[in-house]
């Protein structure tokens, strides 16, 4: 019986997107918590925690990499940033794995 893991081939893993606000960052554990909102007749909120691998791509809403084109990562994010997370939706226990993170520039000025 096959077991899914973070090392699974990307072509076999469904991809989803979620937009929300960072409500927690665990730098040592490479995790990011995101609060997002949805409507079921009234506004409600939910929270997701993502595993953020070392090689995750972090860009601004205009597709630019942070500060002087150096590689950006989870350490460049702060609580309160509004972001879009592209992630693998493996529907398994544990945290979904982030593929890329886009910081929405209109919510936070980015220094270049």
Instruction: Give the pairing of strands 15-26 and 57-60.
Output: unpaired
Show the domains of the chain with their CATH numbers.
Answer: 15-107 (2.40.50.320)
Q: What is the pLDDT along the chain (112 residues), one digit of tens a residue?
A: 344 445 455 568 899 999 999 999 998 888 999 998 877 777 778 899 999 998 888 887 666 555 545 556 677 788 998 999 999 988 777 899 999 998 886 555 544 4
**Whose CA is closest to 95, among 55, 53, 51?**
51
pTM over 0.85, yes/no: no
Q: Which pLDDT value is given to residue 105? A: 66
Question: With contact defined as beta carbons under 8 Å apart, do 50 and 96 qualify?
Answer: yes
């Amino acid at each position: 019986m096959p077991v899914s893991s973070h090392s699974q081939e990307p072509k076999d893993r469904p991809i989803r997107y979620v937009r929300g606000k960072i409500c927690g960052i665990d730098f040592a554990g490479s995790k990011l918590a995101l609060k997002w909102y949805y409507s079921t007749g009234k506004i409600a909120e939910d929270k997701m925690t993502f595993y953020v691998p070392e090689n995750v791509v972090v860009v601004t809403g205009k597709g630019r990499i942070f500060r002087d084109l150096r590689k950006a990562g989870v350490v460049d994010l702060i609580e309160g940033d509004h972001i879009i997370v592209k992630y693998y939706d493996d529907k398994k226990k544990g945290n979904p794995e982030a593929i890329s993170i886009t910081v929405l520039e209109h919510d936070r000025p980015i220094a270049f």
